[in-house]
């Protein structure tokens, strides 16, 4: 079993520039590319790769160890990416095949009627021709997906573009990408493929081997001592020292965390890199460990139910007895925003939610949702649905709230979201005057507290009494979807579900109580 060092945390800061940074960054990335190539083509183990690196490039073991670790991690990521892409292609192929079969059945019926009676008007004929073209396109797409899938499954060597694929392709159209000559492009290409070096953390003074973080100095700065590889020692000496400052942020005691790691001999994994978009300044990222924060805000004091919607996040505080005490809608906009802007916006929203949990001293409940399968089938859905699904950043939200809950000792509970919207709309939306989002958040909070969600007696059939509650809700959800009942109509759900209450399946059995459809009494 791996040794537990505590809770992993990241600290980033700007670091002073040294001429050795640029040369070491270029050499390190070149050695890493060679390592990935050798590990993949020659099937070398990490220990064999370390020996090859030390002999080939005349570098110390510590550098070879870090390079081998990164090479192994890179290959593992490539294998995972291949597996995920195969799964995505299979889902796309399945969705496209199902849609094609449905279209063929529909066209066969239309053609059979047209053979007997002819097309009713010219527009119907044009529509039929258009659908035939669509069928041809779908068949071609299926064939392309099958070819891609077969090629991917048979591929043993995994490819990766170190640098930037966009910049790599720019060499074929220099003028269009703002380059006069290939030499000019080559300068940017080399710069993109360098500018970074890395050190694996070790449980020893300074937190590493060839890179060590020295304790806080009298001038209020930390020092990073870098032992240079042998090829650079003649020019720059055996060691260089770089200064950097770590200031605390609101709610994030970064300097305290770093002091704890240094004083307790925690491993500190160090990455030094250049940011081109920030005037080519150099930065240091420290990954280290701090003490685990005990969970102090639990479900004993209730729960904050969270419902993720297309344009807002609904928050409902449910007390331990299942009643509402507080609710809020937090709006957000994803359209026309970069990934960085979305992440910053999500962090702000998560901060608000965790602050509420601290205020009420309660747990947080979220849905255990995964839209990866649905996103793989987007080509067969409507434009409106696809736009909504693309804008949902549930993965980003889960990562942010998990990290912040750990940092502030808040219990995070993941619940099955099955029928939460339907239950919320029928049981609570009209009763408390909620919208569908806050009603669903109430259900999620109650579910985390292990409170049941019974279906109204008037919707319960005598033969279904011993079945699980969700089987009853599944039937109601299917009816709502089949008849396209809008959410606003469910404020008077008895009237909206009149078809269920008067259906033959119910009529042949005597209900336990009579229900008046108009008044719900």
- pLDDT score recorded for residue 498: 73
In terms of DSSP bridges, do strands 412-415 and 7-15 run parallel, antiparallel, or are they unpaired?
unpaired
Q: Which two tokens stand for residue 282?
A: 């150099």
Mean pLDDT value across residues 366-383: 63
Q: Is pLDDT above 50 for 504?
A: no
* Burial of residue 94, with CB atoms counted within 10 A of its CB: 0-12 exposed, 13-18 middle, 19 or more buried: middle
Q: What is the mean pLDDT of the chain?
A: 85
Strands 362-367 and 412-415: parallel
Dump pLDDT digits (tens) for 156-181.
888 888 888 889 999 999 998 889 99
Of 5-9, 11-15, 132-136, give the lowest mean pLDDT range. Answer: 5-9
Domains of the chain: 298-453 (3.30.420.10), 457-521 (no CATH)
Q: Inform me whether the pLDDT recorded for 389 exceeds 70.
A: no
Q: Which residue has the higher pLDDT, 477 or 37?
A: 37
263: β partners: none
pLDDT of amino acid 319: 93
Token representation of residue 501: 């209450």
Q: What is residue 506's predicted lDDT score, i.e. its pLDDT? A: 43
206-229 pLDDT, tens digit per residue, is 998 899 999 988 888 999 999 999
Mean pLDDT confidence for 265-293: 91
Q: What does 137-189 look like in DSSP terms, one character per residue?
A: HHHHHHHHHHHHHHHHHH--S----SS-HHHHHHTTSTGGGT-SSHHHHHHHH
Check pLDDT > 70 for residue 477. yes
User: Would you place residue 251 in the very low, low, confident or very high pLDDT band (cuts 50, 70, 90)?
Assistant: low
pLDDT 10s digits, 24-43: 999 999 999 999 999 999 99
Give mean pLDDT, residues 413-421.
89
**pLDDT range class, residue 363, cuts 50, 70, 90:** very high
Q: How many residues does this entry show for the chain? A: 521
């Amino acid at each position: 079993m791996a040794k537990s060092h505590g809770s992993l945390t990241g600290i980033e800061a700007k670091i002073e520039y040294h001429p050795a940074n640029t040369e070491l960054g270029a050499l390190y990335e070149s050695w890493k590319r060679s390592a990935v190539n050798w590990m993949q083509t020659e099937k070398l183990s990490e220990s064999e790769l370390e020996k090859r690196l030390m002999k080939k490039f005349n570098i110390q073991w510590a550098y070879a160890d870090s390079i081998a670790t990164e090479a192994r991690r890179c290959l593992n990521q490539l294998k995972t990416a291949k597996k995920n892409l195969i799964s995505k292609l299979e889902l796309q192929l399945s969705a496209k095949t199902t849609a094609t079969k449905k279209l063929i059945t529909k066209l066969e019926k239309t053609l059979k009627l047209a053979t007997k009676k002819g097309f009713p008007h010219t527009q119907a004929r044009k529509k039929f021709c258009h659908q035939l073209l669509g069928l041809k396109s779908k068949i071609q797409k299926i064939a392309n997906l099958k070819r891609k899938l077969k090629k991917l499954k048979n591929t043993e060597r995994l490819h990766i573009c170190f640098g930037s694929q966009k910049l790599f392709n720019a060499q074929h159209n220099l003028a269009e990408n703002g380059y006069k000559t290939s030499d000019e492009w080559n300068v940017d290409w080399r710069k993109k493929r360098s500018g970074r070096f890395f050190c694996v953390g070790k449980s020893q003074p300074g937190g590493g081997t060839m890179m060590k973080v020295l304790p806080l100095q009298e001038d209020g700065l930390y020092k990073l001592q870098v032992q240079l590889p042998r090829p650079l020692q003649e020019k720059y000496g055996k060691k260089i020292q770089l200064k950097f400052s770590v200031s605390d942020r609101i709610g994030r005691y970064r300097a305290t965390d770093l002091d704890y790691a240094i004083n307790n001999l925690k491993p500190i994994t160090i990455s030094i890199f250049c940011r081109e978009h920030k005037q080519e300044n150099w930065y240091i990222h420290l990954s280290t460990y701090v003490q685990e924060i005990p969970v102090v805000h639990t479900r004993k004091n209730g729960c904050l139910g969270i419902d993720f919607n297309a344009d807002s996040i609904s928050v409902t505080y449910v007390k331990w007895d299942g009643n509402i005490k507080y609710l809020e809608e937090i709006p957000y906009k994803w359209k026309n925003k970069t990934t960085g802007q979305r992440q910053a916006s999500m962090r702000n929203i998560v901060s608000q939610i965790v602050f509420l949990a601290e205020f009420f001293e309660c747990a947080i409940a979220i849905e255990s949702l995964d839209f990866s399968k649905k996103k793989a089938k987007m080509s067969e859905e409507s434009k409106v649905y696809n736009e909504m699904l693309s804008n949902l950043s549930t993965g980003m939200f889960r990562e942010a709230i998990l990290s912040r809950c750990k940092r502030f000792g808040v219990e995070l509970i993941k619940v099955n979201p099955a029928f939460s919207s339907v239950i919320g709309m029928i049981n609570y939306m009209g009763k408390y005057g909620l919208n569908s989002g806050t009603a669903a958040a109430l259900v999620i909070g109650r579910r985390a507290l292990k409170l049941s969600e019974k279906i109204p007696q008037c919707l319960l059939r005598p033969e279904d009494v011993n079945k699980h509650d969700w089987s009853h809700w599944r039937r109601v959800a299917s009816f709502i979807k089949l008849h396209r009942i809008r959410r606003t109509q469910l404020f008077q759900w008895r009237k909206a579900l009149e078809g269920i209450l008067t259906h033959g399946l119910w009529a042949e059995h005597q209900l336990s109580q009579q229900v008046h459809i108009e008044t719900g009494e």
